[in-house]
Structure 1
Amino acid sequence: MPLSAVAENLWVTAQPLRFLGLEVGTRMTIVRLGSGDLVLISPVRLVEGDRPSLDRLGTVAHLVAPNLFHHMFMTQAQALYPQAKTWGVAGLAQKRPDLRLDGLVDRAGCLEEVLEYQPVDGFAALMPQGICLANETVFFHRPSRTLIVTDIAFNFDETSSLGMQLAARVLGSYQALRPTLMEKWGTRNKAEVEASLRKVLAWDFDRVILTHGSIVERDGKAALREGYEWFLGRSPS
C-alpha cells in the first residue's frame, strides 16, 4: 500500500471508490501521536499485505469511522488490528450493529494533545433514498496545522475522473473547497452547521486533507470559509 507523507507524523493513502456510478476516490489519513500510536481516520480497504507499510510507522491503536457514511471498510481494519480501539459517531451503532465500537467522537475532544476533533452538527445530504444525516466529526492535527475532513467538503479538480469533473461542475463543487448541492439541499438546520463551523474555523489550520478530491496545501481556512459562505448563504464567522 503506497503511503504519501503530508507532514511530519502525518500520511495519507488513496484508493478508487465508486459512488452513484462516479469514481469519487477515497483517502485514509494516518496520524502518529506523541506516544508513537497511529490513528487511522476513515480506513480504506485493508488486507494483510498492507500491514508492513503501516507497522513501520508505529502501532495502529485507533480506528475512526468519522461519519455515518464512511464505515464500509471498518470490519477489515478491525480484523487486521483487533487490538485497536474503534471510534465511531452518534448513530453508527444503530446503523452497524455488527461493528464493535469502543468509543464515540460525538463531542469535542483531543487525543494526546495532538489530534483535536469537533462534530459538525446538522450536516446532511440529499441521497436517492432521502435526506441522510452525516453526523460527521472533523479533526485538527495541531503540529502540522492540518484540518482533516471526510464529507463536509470536497475539492474535485482536473485530477479527478472526467465523469466526476462534469458532476462537480453541475453540483457546484468543481475547483472549490465546499460541499455540493446534494448537501446544500439536504441540510435543513444550517444554523447548527454554522455554529459548528465557527468552532472549526477557530482552529489555526492552513492545510486541508479531504477524503474526496485534492488536498489543499495552503490557505485552506480561507477557502473553507468561502465555500461555506456559498453553502450557508452567509459567512460562518
Structure 2
Amino acid sequence: MPKAKLWGINGFDQKRKDLPWQCFVTGINWPYNDELIALPLDGMPKVNECLFLHKPSKTLFVTDLCFNILDSKGIGAWLIYSLFGTNQRFATSKFFVRAVTDKAAFQASLDKLFKHDFDNLVPCHGSVITGNAKALLRDALKERGFAVQGQLGSTQLKTSEFAPMPANPF
C-alpha cells in the first residue's frame, strides 16, 4: 500500500524509531472523527493509551484500559491476572491505574469519554462485551478510584454475568 500512512500516538515515535511514522493521533488532527472518534487518555505519558469509538455501532475499542479475561487457564495466567485484579472478570488493571501520574488530566479524559454514547466494548485483552459496556466500564473504573460522570446510573457487576472464579491452584 504505497499511499498508506502509519499513524501512532504521541511519543511512540521515540519508542519505535525503526518505523516511518507520518501522523500522530491527538484527537484533534484525526481525520476520521465523523465515524471513528479518537479519544487519547491524558495523564499517563508512559502508557499513551488512545481509545477509538466507532459511532455507527456504538463500539469502544481499548488497548489496556480494561481487560475481560474470562477463560484464562494455568497457574501463570491465574497468578498474573490475579495480581492485575482482572482474573476471570471485566476490570481495569491495578497496574494500569498506577501509570496515571496526573489524576486530573486522566479524569478529564474519562469525563470526555463518558459524554459519548457506546454500548459495546472490544478490549485487546479478553472477550468482547455486547451491550451495557458503558455501565460496566464505569463500575470497573469506580473500583479503581475514578468516579465518572455521565448519563447512566451505576450498575453492579453481577457475578452471574461472568465465568466463575477458578479454585486456587496452590
TM-score by length of 1: 0.57
Say if 1:175 and 1:195 are closer, same or farther in 2 by CA, change over 3 A.
Answer: farther
Query: Residue by residue, what CA displacement relative to the aligned partner does 1:19-57 show, whole Å, maximum 9, x if unpaired?
Result: xxxxxxxxxxxxxxxxxxxxxxxxxxxxxxxxxxxxxxx
TM-score by length of 2: 0.78
C-alpha distance in 1 between matches for 2:105 and 2:132? 25
Aligned counterpart in structure 1 of residue 6 of structure 2, from 75, 78, 86: 86
What residue number does 2:73 align with? 161
Relative to structure 1, the CA distance from residue 218 to residue 183 in structure 2 (aligned partners, 3 Å threshold; closer, same or farther) is same
What is the aligned partner in structure 2 of residue 198 from structure 1?
111
2:52–2:60 CA contact under 8 A, matched in 1: yes
Cα deviation for residue 182 of structure 1 reads 1.3
- Give matches, 1:12-91, under 5 Å: 81-91=1-11
Q: 1:214 aligns with which of 127, 130, 138?
A: 127
Gapped regions of structure 2 (runs ≥ 5): 150-170
| CA deviation vs aligned residue, 1:152-202 (integer Å, no higher than 9, x gap) | 111111x22333244222321234433212123332222211110111111
Partner of 2:97: 184
SS where residue 69 of structure 2 aligns?
A: coil
Is residue 16 of structure 2 the alignment partner of residue 96 of structure 1?
yes
Larger strand percent: 1
Match of 1:236 among 148, 153, 156: 148
Shift of 1:112: 6.1
Aligned length: 147
Q: What's the % identity of the aligned pairs?
A: 35
Provide the rounded CA distance (Å) in 2 between the counterparts of 1:222 and 1:153.
Answer: 13
For structure 1, the 5+ residue unaligned runs are: 1-80, 125-132
The change in CA–CA distance for 1:189 and 1:136 in structure 2 (over 3 A counts) is: same
Match 1:122 to one of 31, 38, 43: 43
